[in-house]
Every structure is written in structure tokens, then in C-alpha cells.
């Protein structure tokens, strides 16, 4: 089994992946959405990256379990539900269903577990009780706060000094805290909050950070292999997760902390607060899931990636190139001498999950295949499957046109080449009747679901 190295945010180094358990079992936990609104294209990046990572680890012989939580108890949910005049549980259920449907459209399948914070209250209460017992937390007027200065290693994940920190809780609970650095583990129920649970220190609901510590521990235990999420979560969320488990359980929550970069709109982070978001279902409808997945693959997971028409067109053009190559291939094994490109693909992924380098190896394989006859598609299927794009190897699209629609597009292209505009228009209308819009671009015509 080849060595797989991943960048660990805490150490700042590439660390070899080491399975705790026999049978090469590996746990992956990635922080999922807070379900108060539809997710945007940037929110989907961790879902894609860690879904791919699980596929790659399975290919390499690991028994990987992927957990992606849903935060359905949160201040933002209360606020959004109140603004709509509905209950917070109703809003959370509605937005969770949207999240599942929107990410399902990417064609990557589901994580092995998708726990809800609202269904993990017992584990949350148990962890808070352990922290209080160890004098790492304290209850006051129904709230419970974590003593940040009790953790000698606090700040080691985000590489920040205590005196420079701000938990981002504003003035909430300020008069109750022993130290402004302390953060909430449990919040007493307030007027207008319609969801709460009983706990030894009073009726209320959990803070954001404790939810993930408890959900991860319940499904993967303590000391699991990979904890993932967006780089915007390093502080305070992941720093606080790590501290809670460290003091509550006397062990580190995860071995490797792996963070993906943000999507940018020409230099600024995409976020709901900035109002520069593109919702995931809208982007899939316009560009197709294949293009979205290839767009993500062309950027290294740790780096920011620019979301713009030109980067999407580049990804779309490469998808089209791979699909057209796939239509020329035959069933069966690929030539042995093309395995160097396949090997380079998987070597790149083993080196800090370098998808851009893997895509370059994929492109080299496609170029070689286009120069030859009777090339088998096995190696191409094997590579594309990591990205959830295996149908491209057959000339198809995971979410896209079938053979009949592609044949109509070919006929339209031929009619246009012959300047038979009436026939080209007839074929365009036939495609529209079948649910496809023809988009003509510099790289040729492609089909987009209407």
C-alpha cells in the first residue's frame, strides 16, 4: 500500500496517513452546513473534496468511513425561522432536505453518516458534564462556558496567541464569563427560541462547537484519522473542537486536521454576508455537475479557487474533451504503456491530494489515447471514478445528455458545417423538446439541461 501524505494544519507539515485500527480502517469527519438557507457553490467544496478523498482511500485499499454532519441547532436558524414566521425545526428540516437534494445532484453519493446535532443531545450533554467535572468548564445561570486558559495547548491548531483571540460571540454572555476568551458550550433558552432540551444545568441548547465534537466522537471515536472542513473554520470552530475533546477526554480528537480553501469571486471570498453567492442548484443547472466537479478538481484543495465564467468554461471544455475521447474508446483493458499516466494520476493524489497534478496526468492519458486506435477505457474509468466522472469514459455525462441527444447534437453540428441552417434549427428544436439547450461557444457546441 503506497504512503499517503496529507497536510496537517496543526503541525503545518505533510503527515503520513496512519490507520488506528486493523483492516486499514480510516475515519473522516467533515463539518457540514448550518441549515438556515440553501447552500452556495462555495459551501459545496468540502462536500466534494472529502467525498473524493474517501473514494481515493477506498481505491488504495483503506476501509474509509466518511461522516459529514448537519448543524440543525444554531442561532442563525432561530433568526432565519423567526424572519419567515415558521418554527426553527420546520426551517431546519426544509433546508436539510434542500441540502441533501442539492448535493445529491453532484452525483457523488452520500457520506456514510450524516448526523444531526438535534439527535446528538445525549452525547453533547455527556461531554459537557465531563468538562465540568474536570474543571475545564463552568455553569452559570443556565449557561455553560469552556475555560480557554485551562487548555495549555489552546491556539496550537490555528497558530494564534491567546491575547489576540476573539471568540466572535460579541457581547452575548459577556457578563457571565470568567474570562472574555471563554466560549459557550450550552446556552440557556431565551425568549423566542422554540427549541430546547433539558440538561443538569438548565433548559437550553448546545453551542456550535460542542456539537461537532460530540457527533464526531459518537461515530468515529476519539483519535480518528482526518478532520476536515473549510479554512474559515480553523478558528474558532476547529480550535474549540480540539480543545473540548482534549480536556474532556484526555486525548486529541483527530490525527490530521485538513482544510480546504475558499472560493473567490475575483479576489474576495464568496459568502452570504457579502451577498456575492451563487447557489449550488443554480450553478449546476447552468453548467452541469460534470463541469462543476472538474472545476473543483483543477484547483488544489488547500488553495483558494476563482469562481468565474472563464474558469468554468475552461473546466467545461476539458470535460467535453474527455467525453469526446471516451466515445472513441473500446471496452477492455488499456495499453500497458499508457499506465505511466494512470500511475502519475494516483501518485499525485497520494501527495497531499494534488488534484491539479492528477488532472494533468489525466489530460496526458487522453492526449495519448487520441493519437492511437482501439484504446481500451479501463484506466480512464479508474481515474475518472475518483472524481465521480466515470460516465465520461463512455462518452456520456453523469448528469447529462444520453446517446440520442448527443447524436442529435452531432447531426446539428454537421448541418451547420454544411450551412443547412433550416436543418440545424430543426435539430436544435428537437433537442429543446427533449429538454436540452444548445450552447455554442469557442470550444464548440454543448448541451445544457433546459
- Output the domain CATH number for residue 328: 1.10.730.10
Contacts of 403 (CB under 8 A, 6+ apart): 395, 396
Of 232, 264, 296, the residue that ends a domain is 264
Select the more confidently predicted residue: 282 or 265. 282
How confident is the model over 319-347, as pLDDT tens digits?
A: 999 999 999 999 999 999 999 999 999 99
Residues 251, 126 share a domain = yes
Q: Does a structural domain hold residue 333?
A: yes
Q: pTM of the full predicted structure?
A: 0.87
Looking at the structure of the chain, the number of domains it has is 3
**Given the C-alpha cell 469552556, which residue does it identify?**
146
Residue 208, pLDDT score: 92
- Residue 292's pLDDT band (cuts 50, 70, 90): very high
Question: From CA 67, how far away is CA 34, in angstroms rounded?
Answer: 15
Higher-confidence residue of 99 and 438: namely 99
Q: What is the CATH number of the domain that holds 208?
A: 3.40.50.620
Question: Are 250 and 356 members of one domain?
Answer: no
Lowest mean pLDDT among 248-252, 434-438, 444-448: 444-448
Inter-residue contact 131 to 124 (CB < 8 Å): no
Has residue 272 been placed in a domain? no
Q: Are residues 108 and 47 in the same domain?
A: yes
Rg (CA), the chain: 25
Q: Alpha-carbon distance 187 to 173, whole Å?
A: 9
**pLDDT confidence of residue 449:** 65
Per the domain annotation, does 280 fall within a domain?
no
Query: HSE of 292 in the Cβ direction (CA atoms, 13 Å)?
Result: 33
pLDDT, residue 22, reads 82
Of 264, 280, 304, the one marking the end of a domain is 264
Which tens digit of pLDDT belongs to each residue from 211-255?
999 999 999 999 999 999 999 999 999 999 999 999 999 999 999
The confidence band for 369, taking pLDDT boundaries of 50, 70 and 90, is very high
Does residue 50 sit within a domain?
Answer: yes
* CA–CA dist 189, 197 (Å, integer): 9
> What tens digit of pLDDT does each residue of 25-76 get?
999 999 999 999 999 999 999 999 999 999 999 999 999 999 999 999 999 9
Concatenate the DSSP letters of all residues of 56-69 into one string.
HHHHTT-EEEEEE-
Are 323 and 187 contained in the same domain?
no
Cα-based angle 110, 114, 120 (whole degrees, multiple of 5): 170
Residues 6+ apart with CB under 8 A from 11: none
pLDDT band at 272 (very low <50, low <70, confident <90, very high): low
Distance CA 213, CA 223 (A): 11
Task: Output the pLDDT for position 114.
Answer: 98
pLDDT for position 446: 76
338 with 433, same domain: the answer is no
pLDDT value at 274 more than 70 = no
Note the pLDDT tens digit of each residue in 170-202: 656 778 999 999 999 999 999 989 999 999 999
Task: Clarify whether residues 61 and 193 are in a common domain.
Answer: yes
Together in a domain, 300 and 210 = no
Percent of the chain with pLDDT over 70: 94
Strand partners, 228: 30, 258
In the predicted model, is pLDDT for residue 1 greater than 80? no
Which three three-digit cell numbers place residue 242? 480540539
Task: Tell me: pLDDT of 169 over 80.
Answer: no
C-alpha cell at 8: 496537517
Instruction: Reply yes or no on whether the pLDDT at 17 is more than 90.
Output: yes
Q: Are residues 187 and 138 in the same domain?
A: yes
State whether 354 and 442 are in the same domain.
no
**226 and 112 belong to one structural domain:** yes
Establish if 433 belongs to a structural domain: yes
Q: Give the sign of the dihedral formed by CA 197, CA 200, CA 203, CA 209.
A: negative
Q: Is the pLDDT of residue 307 over 70?
A: yes
Residue 412 lies in a domain: yes
Q: What is the mean pLDDT of the chain?
A: 92
Domain membership of residue 270 (yes or no) is no
**What is residue 166's predicted lDDT score, i.e. its pLDDT?**
72
- The whole domain housing 211 covers 5-264
Please give the pLDDT value at position 407: 82
Where a domain ends, among 376, 394, 412? 394
Nearest to 209 by CA among 187, 184, 246: 184
Domain shared by 346 and 428, yes or no:
no
Residues 257 and 336 in one domain: no
Residue 168 cell numbers, joined: 466572535
180 domain-assigned: yes
Q: Could you report the per-residue pLDDT of 379-433, keeping only the tens digit for each?
A: 999 999 999 999 999 987 666 666 678 888 888 988 888 888 888 889 988 888 8
Amino acid at each position: 500500500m503506497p504512503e499517503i501524505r496529507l497536510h496537517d494544519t496543526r503541525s503545518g507539515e505533510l503527515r503520513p496517513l496512519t490507520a488506528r485500527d486493523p483492516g486499514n480502517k480510516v475515519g473522516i469527519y467533515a463539518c457540514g452546513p448550518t441549515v438556515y438557507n440553501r447552500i452556495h457553490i462555495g459551501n459545496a467544496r468540502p462536500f466534494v473534496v472529502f467525498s473524493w478523498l474517501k473514494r481515493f482511500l477506498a481505491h488504495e485499499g483503506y476501509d474509509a468511513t466518511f461522516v459529514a454532519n448537519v448543524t440543525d441547532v444554531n442561532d442563525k436558524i432561530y433568526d432565519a425561522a423567526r424572519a419567515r414566521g415558521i418554527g426553527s425545526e420546520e426551517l431546519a428540516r426544509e433546508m436539510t432536505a434542500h441540502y441533501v437534494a442539492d448535493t445529491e445532484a453532484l452525483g457523488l453519493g452520500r457520506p456514510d453518516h450524516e448526523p444531526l446535532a438535534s439527535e446528538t443531545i445525549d452525547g453533547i450533554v455527556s461531554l459537557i458534564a465531563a468538562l465540568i467535572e474536570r474543571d475545564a468548564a463552568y455553569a452559570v445561570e443556565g449557561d455553560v462556558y469552556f475555560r480557554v486558559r485551562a487548555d495549555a495547548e489552546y491556539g496550537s491548531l490555528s497558530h494564534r496567541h491567546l491575547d489576540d483571540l476573539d471568540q466572535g460571540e460579541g457581547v452575548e454572555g459577556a457578563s457571565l464569563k470568567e474570562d472574555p476568551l471563554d466560549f459557550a458550550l450550552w446556552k440557556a433558552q431565551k425568549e423566542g427560541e422554540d427549541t430546547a432540551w433539558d440538561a443538569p444545568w438548565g433548559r437550553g441548547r448546545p453551542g456550535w462547537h460542542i456539537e461537532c465534537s460530540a457527533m464526531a466522537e459518537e461515530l468515529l471515536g476519539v483519535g480518528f484519522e482526518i478532520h476536515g472542513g473549510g479554512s474559515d473554520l480553523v478558528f474558532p470552530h476547529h480550535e474549540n473542537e480540539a480543545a473540548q475533546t482534549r480536556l474532556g477526554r484526555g486525548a486529541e480528537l483527530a490525527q490530521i486536521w485538513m482544510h480546504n480553501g475558499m472560493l473567490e469571486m475575483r479576489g474576495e471570498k464568496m459568502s452570504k454576508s457579502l451577498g456575492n453567492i451563487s447557489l449550488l442548484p443554480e450553478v449546476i443547472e447552468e453548467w452541469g455537475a460534470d463541469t462543476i466537479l472538474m472545476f473543483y478538481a483543477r484547483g488544489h484543495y488547500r488553495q483558494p479557487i476563482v469562481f468565474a465564467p472563464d474558469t468554468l468554461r475552461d473546466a467545461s471544455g476539458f470535460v467535453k474533451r474527455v467525453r469526446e475521447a471516451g466515445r472513441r474508446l473500446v471496452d477492455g483493458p488499456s495499453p500497458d504503456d499508457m499506465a505511466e499516466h494512470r500511475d502519475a494520476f494516483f501518485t499525485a493524489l497520494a501527495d497531499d491530494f494534488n488534484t491539479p497534478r492528477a488532472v494533468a496526468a489525466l489530460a496526458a492519458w487522453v492526449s495519448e489515447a487520441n493519437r492511437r486506435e482501439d484504446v481500451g477505457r479501463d484506466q480512464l474509468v479508474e481515474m475518472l471514478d475518483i472524481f465521480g466522472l466515470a460516465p465520461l469514459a463512455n462518452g456520456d455525462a453523469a448528469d447529462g445528455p444520453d446517446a440520442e441527444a448527443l447524436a442529435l447534437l452531432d447531426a446539428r453540428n454537421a448541418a451547420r458545417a454544411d450551412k443547412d441552417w433550416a436543418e440545424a434549427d430543426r435539430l436544435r428544436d428537437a433537442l429543446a423538446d427533449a429538454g436540452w439547450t444548445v450552447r455554442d461557444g469557442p470550444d464548440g457546441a454543448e448541451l445544457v439541461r433546459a
